[in-house]
């Protein structure tokens, strides 16, 4: 099975800061990598698909990059409503689809 | 508007069974792959099963042989039959749709399954 790691596991940043989260796959997954945002008590929301494509309606401050095994998710200017946990997900090799362990983002 | 509404969660004893349902609306259900994803309290997301548009099914090792995913396109409904339940299956269970081979772009709000004596 493909394992996904994320770092950091949590971070605290100020409003307006640039925030970067990394995700690494245990083997090449091409660009079959998605990023989700989950707020407490809510379902996950798709933000980025296929590593770098912004889902319709998602603010442009969110972006993704990478291919192969190394991926990056960026919030260019952190906003209070971005407080959430962010998960990467690979779907190159089914089964199983696997998620990263998540990165919790807080406001400093 | 796309809607996915899960139901069927509840309290069940270890070794028991439960059937979850997901009612879909606002899109052509038969044209989408469907998934179940679960989340234990305070933990991360775990993919549980998927069913393709042709009825092909997929499971991780943790539930294979115990869980069965199915769909009824005429009723726009997705199901998850869960047998031999364990305490470790306690979680909120979400259904989600995806274009064939694509990301899960819509999710339901989840239904809580608690396995406890």
- What pLDDT is attached to residue A43? 97
Whether the per-residue pLDDT at A93 is higher than 90: the answer is no
* Contact in structure between B58 and A95 (CB atoms under 8 Å): yes
Matching residue, tokens 């009612």: B23
What is the C-alpha separation between A62 and B108, in angstroms, rounded?
23
Based on the number of CB atoms within 10 Å of its own CB, is A40 exposed (0-12), middle (13-18) or buried (19 or more)?
Answer: exposed
Longest pairwise C-alpha distance within chain A:
39
pLDDT recorded at residue A96: 87
The minimum CA-CA distance between A101 and chain B, rounded to whole Å, is: 6
**Which range among A3-17, A55-69, A87-101, B50-64 shows the weakest confidence by mean pLDDT?**
A87-101
CA distance linking residue A3 with residue B60, whole number of Å: 13
Chain A hits for B108, CB-CB cut-off 8 Å, are 43
What pLDDT shows up at residue A95? 79
Residue A94 pLDDT > 80, yes or no?
Answer: no
Q: Are B4 and B97 in contact (CB under 8 A)?
A: yes
- Split at pLDDT 50, 70, 90, the class of B22 is very high
CB pairs below 8 Å between A and B: how many? 57
Q: A38: which chain B residues are within 8 Å (Cβ-Cβ)? A: 45
- The answer to whether the CB atoms of B50 and A94 lie below 8 A apart is yes
Is residue A92 scored above 90 in pLDDT?
A: no
Nearest residue, CB atoms, B105 vs list A42, A55, A97: A55
Question: Distance from CA of residue A50 to its chain's centroid?
Answer: 11
Share of chain B above pLDDT 70, in %: 100
- Return the percentage of chain A with pLDDT > 70, whole number: 100
Residue B36 has pLDDT above 90, yes or no: yes
Using CB atoms, pick whichever of A42, A98, A100 lies closest to residue B47. Answer: A98
DSSP character string of chain B: --EEEEE--EEE-TT--EEEEEEEESS-GGGSEEEEEEE-TTS-EEEEEEE-TTS-EE--TTTBTTEEEEEEGGGTEEEEEE-S--GGG-EEEEEEEESTTS-EEEE---EEEEE--
Give the three-state DSSP class for A16.
Answer: coil
Q: Are B17 and B83 in contact (CB under 8 A)?
A: yes
A86: number of Cβ within 10 Å: 25
Mean pLDDT, range A32-37, rounded to an integer: 97
Q: What is the pLDDT of residue B19?
A: 98
Mean pLDDT calculated for residue range A65-78: 98
For chain B, first and last CA: distance in Å? Answer: 40
Is A87 in CB contact (< 8 Å) with chain B? Answer: yes
Q: Any idea which residue has 């508007």 for tokens?
A: B1
């Amino acid at each position: 099975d493909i394992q996904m790691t994320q770092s950091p596991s949590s971070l605290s940043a100020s409003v307006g800061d640039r925030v970067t989260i990394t995700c690494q796959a245990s083997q090449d997954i091409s660009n079959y990598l998605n990023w989700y945002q989950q707020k407490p008590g809510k379902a996950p929301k798709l933000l980025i698909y296929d590593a770098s494509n912004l889902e319709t309606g998602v603010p442009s401050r969110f972006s993704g990059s990478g291919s192969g095994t190394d991926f990056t998710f960026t919030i260019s200017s952190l906003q209070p409503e971005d407080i959430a946990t962010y998960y990467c997900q690979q779907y190159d090799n089914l089964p199983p689809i696997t998620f990263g362990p998540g990165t919790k983002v807080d406001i400093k | 508007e796309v809607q996915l509404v899960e139901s069927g969660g509840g309290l069940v004893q270890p070794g028991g069974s439960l059937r979850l349902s997901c009612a879909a609306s606002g899109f052509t259900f038969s044209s989408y792959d469907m998934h179940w994803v679960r989340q234990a309290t305070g933990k991360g997301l775990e993919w549980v099963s998927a069913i393709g548009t042709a009825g092909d099914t997929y499971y991780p090792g943790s539930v294979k042989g115990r869980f069965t995913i199915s769909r009824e396109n005429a009723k726009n409904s997705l199901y998850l039959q869960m047998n031999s339940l364990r305490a470790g299956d306690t979680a909120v269970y979400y259904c989600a749709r995806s274009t064939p081979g694509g990301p899960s772009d819509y999710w339901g709000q989840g239904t809580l399954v608690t396995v406890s004596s």
